[in-house]
Structure 1
Amino acid sequence: MMRAVSAAETAPTTYAWTVHAENLAVRAGRRLAVNGLDLALGTGVHGLLGPNGAGKTTLMRALATVVRPAGGRLDLLGENISGRADLRRVRRRLGYLPQHFGFYPRFTVREFVEYMAWLKEMPKADIPGAVQRAVDRVGLTDRADARMKTLSGGMVRRAGIAQAIVNDPELLLLDEPTVGLDPEQRLDFRELLRDIGSDSCVLVSTHLVEDVAVACTDVVLVHEGRLVWQGTTAQLAAQGGTGDAGDSAAERGYSALLRSHRERVAA
């Protein structure tokens, strides 16, 4: 006899934030690259900014469950990663593009994305259609059966984005995704981000402030492993003045916030 299933058992899992960190500490080697960071992110496209050595890549690696936190608390998709969470369950629901990623050069684009879909434990029957959609979305339809070793740097980067989105992730983490993309491809990529961010949480780490200003709903600024500022792109642009470095309002706002933070730390 079949057991009756309650409404509570079939209801979707809900959580306040897709990403929630409290006093988070993460090591890069022996150094605490993230130290005492508080962060809350929900649906939308969030830009992660900061100077070299600010801890951006280490933070992204922690959010991707590549490295475990050294202290504090980190919740991803309702799971406490700081504890004994089932990381496989979390990884099935996220997508990650690191700054540098490996691949078998003789794989075709399709085979590479299929392999990554398999690693994410996607249902076998869903993989062919999901791979084709991902390849189409990054503009590699005509190169789907080309070997990875024959692609330009920008095309390899787009293949990396395809593997990150193949499972329609609820949390998408992109570390320097526009490296090697030409201006037209960057415009297409911004449109893709806005589409994915309409119902998922996307975090984009980049040095290109203009990409953040155009494509993101809000900005997270980190320095020396700590959260310096978080706000909308309009609020970022309003922070700067004519005396601040930068060719745009967003860049001047970024410069002004960093300068202000460094002055407070030095005082």
Structure 2
Amino acid sequence: MMPAASAADIAPTPYAWEIRATGLKVRVGRNHMAVDGLDLSLGTGVHGLLGPNGAGKSTLIRALATVLRPAEGTLELLGESAGGMGEHRALRRRIGYLPQEFGYYKRFTVREFVEYMAWLKEVPKGDIPAAVQHAVERVGLADRADKRMKTLSGGMVRRVGIAQAIVNDPTILLLDEPTAGLDPAQRLRFRELLQELGKDTCVVVSTHLVEDVAAACTDVVLFAEGRLVFQGTPDDLAAAGGPEHVGDSPLERGYSALLLGPGRGRGAW
């Protein structure tokens, strides 16, 4: 006989979108509005956040991680307001976050560091060993779990960063340039991991690598000067460009078409 489902098991999801921003503005410093009037809704899946340097991608990721608070507009995460100076402790337990640069204790082993992060994220004490082992295995570092962080290559450190971001089995996963330092084989494995995670998680991946978006993302958010330029599938992005646009692939030409327009060259470095 099948066990009876509890009321919690069959209750509808209390929110329509994992992430919803309306008129969102986020200021960096006194005068720079790095995110300027963003309307965006994201649900389960892998969302690629693309844009040039200085577009505001990292600022947006930090706001979604509740590290920065909105200056104006509304931001809802998992149906809860993430604006203002309120307490976000319970919300943060359900978020995984990998910044572009993250600090770590060099004398910690990989296992000790991920355990420490699990503790900070309030993973139940009895669940931590299994959660850490699973996270380390998912990033392909099981054989390095008892090695000190200071002995790892840059790519391995980045993979530890991904492990700590997923150790709490988050509902929202925010990854800022996660493939930096990964070699081609590691990037392929990472794309597979993203596809696995995106089945039941809202994953936002900020990247400069357009081809990573094509391989792993269900949709693309193109961001420039703090504003949304485009949102659609990778195929939609590819269709936006033509032979007259800059790029070595249809996706790159679509990216160029939307950011530069035809006949405007390669732009500045």
Unaligned runs of 5+ in 1: 1-5
Q: Do the aligned residues in 2 keep the contact of 1:212 with 1:233 (CA within 8 Å)?
A: yes
Deviates more, 1:9-18 or 1:166-175: 9-18
How does the TM-score come out when normalised to structure 1? 0.93
Q: Distance in 2 between matches of 1:217 and 1:82?
A: 27
CA distance in 2, matches of 1:8, 1:258: 45
**SS at structure 1 position matched to 2:260:** helix
Runs (4 or more) in structure 1 with deviation over 2 Å come to: 6-14, 83-86
Shift of 1:241: 0.5
Q: What does 1:241-260 align with in structure 2 at a 5 Å threshold?
A: 241-260=242-261
- In the TM superposition, residue 11 of structure 1 has moved relative to its aligned partner by 3.2
Residue 13 of structure 1: how far off its partner (Å): 4.3
For the 8 Å contact 2:238–2:254, the answer to whether it is kept is yes
- 1:166-245 matched pairs, under 5 angstroms: 166-245=167-246
Deviation string 1:216-247 (CA, Å, 9 cap, x unpaired) is 00000011101111000110111110111111
Partner of residue 113, structure 2: 112
2:199 & 2:175 partners in 1: Cα distance? 16
Matched, 1:141 2:157: no
Q: 1:7, CA displacement in angstroms? A: 4.0
**CA separation of 1:68/1:243 partners in 2, compared to 1, >3 Å: closer, same or farther?**
same
- Kept in 2: contact 1:174–1:205 (CA 8 A): yes
- Which stretch of the first structure deviates more once superposed, 198-207 or 74-83? 74-83
Aligned length: 257
3-state DSSP class of the match of 1:106?
Answer: coil
Say whether the 8 Å CA contact 1:196–1:202 is kept in structure 2: yes
User: What is the percent sequence identity of the aligned residues?
Assistant: 73
The CA deviation at 1:260 is 3.8
Distance 1:114 1:242, change over 3 A: same
**Are the counterparts in 1 of residues 69 and 85 from structure 2 also a CA contact under 8 Å?**
no
String of CA shifts for 1:35-61, please: whole Å, max 9, x gaps: 101110000000000111100000000
Counterpart of 1:15, as a letter, is Y
Q: Aligned AA for 1:55?
A: G
CA distance in structure 2 between the partners assigned to 1:189 and 1:218 by the alignment: 17
Q: For 1:61-103, what per-residue CA distance to the aligned partner results, in whole angstroms no more than 9, with x for missing partners?
A: 0000011111100000111111465401110001000000000
Give 1:3's aligned residue: none
Q: Could you tell me how far apart the structure 2 residues matched to 1:85 and 1:12 are? A: 26
* Contact 2:96 2:173 survives alignment (8 Å): yes
Alpha-carbon contact 2:245-2:261 (below 8 Å) kept: no
Equivalent residue number for residue 127 of structure 2:
126
Partner of 2:58, secondary structure, is helix
- Contact kept, 8 Å, 1:47 with 1:218, in 2: the verdict is yes
**2:65–2:92 CA contact under 8 A, matched in 1:** yes
Alignment partners' CA distance in 1, 2:141 and 2:40: 35
Distance in 1 between residues matched to 2:21 and 2:59, nearest whole Å: 14
**Distance 1:110-1:12 versus aligned 2 partners, 3 A rule:** farther
Map residues 10-159 of structure 1 onto 2, 5 A cutoff: 11=11, 13-30=13-30, 31-83=32-84, 85-159=86-160
Q: CA deviation at 1:27?
A: 1.2
- 1:172 alignment partner AA: L
Q: What one-letter code is carried by the residue in structure 2 that aligns with 1:98?
A: P
